[in-house]
Structures are given as structure tokens and as C-alpha cells.
Amino acid sequence: MSLRFRRHHFLCSLGFQGKGYSDAFTANMDAVVTGRLRAPGGAGVEIEVVAGADAICGPCPERRGEGCAKQARIDALDAAHGAALGLVPGDRITWGDALGRIRAHVQPGDLARICAGCGWLELGLCEAALQRLHADGQG
């Protein structure tokens, strides 16, 4: 079964380190990222790129139907991430292919621009994961 992802959730999934907006959100993201994408065979998981709420958004306390309480910020993140990764809603890609695109198109230091406005950026988790991906292929 494929996953549905907003464009910015590709890099969020790369950087996920067990933290989230709420316990329910964190548990869900852990199930998606650790349980599926980072599990054996996870590189083959198919992801459909969507414009609205997705597999990660489900229990987010900011979710408002198919949107977000911070929709303008989310739209900006999706646009920046989509441009960086060459993804638009309707695309289908495997997690392994997504990691290849991240490695090819997002260099360490790029997140300050691509993720501008994201509150998680200052923690450095995503930057550390991006550096690992470039160093040894592991996100």
C-alpha cells in the first residue's frame, strides 16, 4: 500500500528523530518513518505526492480538514521542497528514489533556504540527517 505525502514531508521524514507536535503525532510519524520507510524494504515503498493532508498529517494538532491552521507556511514549504526535489502533486515515487533526489538536489546547508519558516529547523535534526545521507547514504 502506498503512502500519501505532502512535498515537504520527504525531508521531514529524512530528519525525523522521534520528536513531534504531540504524542499521537509522534507515534504516527514513527510508524510511517521507522515502521515503513526505514524498515527493511522501505526503499521500495511507493509514495503519492499530494497537495493536502497526508499520512503524516493525520493526528497533527494543527490539521484542519485537508489543510492546516498554518496553511500559508505549509504552502510555502511545499512549494520550496517541490522545487528542490522536482515533485508536484500527482507524482508517484519510491522512498529510495526520493532519497536519491534528496542526495542529488539538496546539499548540506540548503535547508536554511528550503525550510525557511519551519520551527524544527533550529534543532538541527534535519541538517544532521542530510549530512549523514551525503556521507554514507543513510538518512
Of 44, 49, 47, 46, which is closest to residue 83 (Cα–Cα)?
49
Mean pLDDT of 67-77: 91
Contact indicator for 98, 48 with CB cutoff of 8 Å:
no
Residue ranges of domains in the chain: 3-136
Q: What pTM was estimated for this model as a whole?
A: 0.93
CA distance 22 to 12: 16
Contact indicator for 27, 21 with CB cutoff of 8 Å:
no
Dihedral sign computed on CA atoms, order 34, 38, 40, 43: positive
Please write the tens of the pLDDT for every residue from 91-139. 999 999 999 999 999 999 999 999 998 889 999 999 999 999 999 866 5
Task: Give residue 138's pLDDT.
Answer: 60
Task: Give residue 139's pLDDT.
Answer: 59
Task: Give residue 117's pLDDT.
Answer: 86
**Residue 19, Cα to own-chain centre: how many angstroms?**
14
Task: Give residue 7's pLDDT.
Answer: 97
Please write the tens of the pLDDT for every residue from 21-63. 899 999 999 999 999 999 999 999 999 999 999 999 989 888 9
Task: Give residue 4's pLDDT.
Answer: 97
- Residue 135: exposure state from Cβ atoms within 10 A (0-12, 13-18, ≥19): exposed
